[in-house]
Amino acid sequence: MAFPFPFPFPLLFLLFLSIPFSESKLSVDYYTKTCPDFDSIMRETVTSKQINSPTTAAGTLRLFFHDCMVDGCDASVLISTNPFNKAERDADINLSLPGDAFDLVVRAKTALELSCPGIVSCADILAQATRDLITMVGGPFYKIRLGRKDGFESKAELVNGQVPQPNMSVNQLIKVFAAKGFSAQEMVALTGAHTIGFSHCKEFSHRIYNYSNTSPSDPEMYPKYAEALRKTCSNYLKDPGMSAFNDIMTPSKFDNMYYQNLQRGLGLLATDHALSKHPRTKPFVDLYASNQTKFFEDFSHAMEKLSVFGIKTGRKGEVRHKCDAFNTLKA
């Protein structure tokens, strides 16, 4: 029997229904007609910022992740606290989010408002900038579907338990990601973002100082690495900004060296090291350590999935005039 469509119409209808309605409104060419210079403005802004501040890529990736993990990718982490509301960015775990990442979004928004006022959302700016920066420092290219709206809510109390903490067990980490629909393998792939960037000394100090009665540092950590970290962080109690690269070998290049480091006892955070030992995550650490192509493929897939998590479209969101404030004051 021949059908007037490539597939039976009922099947096509069911396939359409299987796509969340909010996601179906997104497209890679969303701004082609309404803001034709969107891509070029984003590239110019991202390139300029990264050249002048090389830590921007890692900072923006972290900012994007922290935004998406709390009620979806809706730019809620960009909102500033006001007298009526303590916003997400002032939650304890977000206080160390880097200023360069916020600055990049502000610069891009300013340029886009001059070119096409009131059209491009802050959520789309953050998603696109993250992808462009990952590619710029050697990582994979993946498609970003556009058309997100900016959220109407940003509350610090909603952050707790939604973002991975450096003191969590692997089982706790798996639970955090599973609650948002991510598998253990997708979690390990996303954690590969630690191939760039840095962590503050306070986040791993327990591994290098007074670890136990028999060892000053975690015996699972390569001894000379632990010794170097103790010197790097020697004054961290007085200077909380002191930090170390997550990937000591290629800190500015997006590659699979992070996973190779874990196998050698060169993991910085306790959670990083634990991934290389836990039976549910070790196979994926070993896989990505030996196969960068597979890591890039899985990371790209996981980032595409993350980028549409909990998005707002239509009347469920807005296009903010300024990324750090709602268009109408919200309590």
Alpha-carbon separation of residue 218 from 213, 246, 250, 278 (angstroms): 11, 17, 23, 17
| Other C-beta atoms lying within 10 Å of the C-beta of residue 317 | 21
Please state at what angle helix 122-136 crosses helix 292-307, rounded to 10 degrees. 170
Q: Would you write out the chain's pLDDT as a tens digit for each of its 331 residues? A: 444 445 454 544 444 444 454 555 899 999 999 999 999 999 999 999 999 999 999 999 999 999 999 999 999 999 999 999 999 999 999 999 999 999 999 999 999 999 999 999 999 999 999 999 999 999 999 999 999 999 999 999 999 999 999 889 999 999 999 999 999 999 999 999 999 999 999 999 999 999 999 999 999 999 999 999 999 999 999 998 899 999 999 999 999 999 999 999 999 999 999 999 999 999 999 999 999 999 999 999 999 999 999 999 999 999 999 999 999 754 4
Structure tokens, 161: 């338990």
* Amino acid 10: pLDDT: 53
Other C-beta atoms closer than 10 Å to the C-beta of 209 total 17
Place of tokens 């509301």: 85
What is the tens place of the pLDDT at every residue in 36-69? 999 999 999 999 999 999 999 999 999 999 999 9
Quick one: pLDDT at residue 182?
98
Q: Based on the number of CB atoms within 10 Å of its own CB, is 119 exposed (0-12), middle (13-18) or buried (19 or more)? A: middle
pLDDT of residue 262: 97
d(CA 153, CA 311): 13
Exposure class string for 305-316: b at 16+ Cβ within 10 A, else e: ebbbbbbbbeee
Q: What local confidence, expressed as pLDDT, does residue 239 receive?
A: 94
- pLDDT at residue number 328: 78
DSSP for residue 199: E
Residues with catalytic annotation?
66
Helix (H) or strand (E) holding 198: strand 198-200
DSSP 89: G
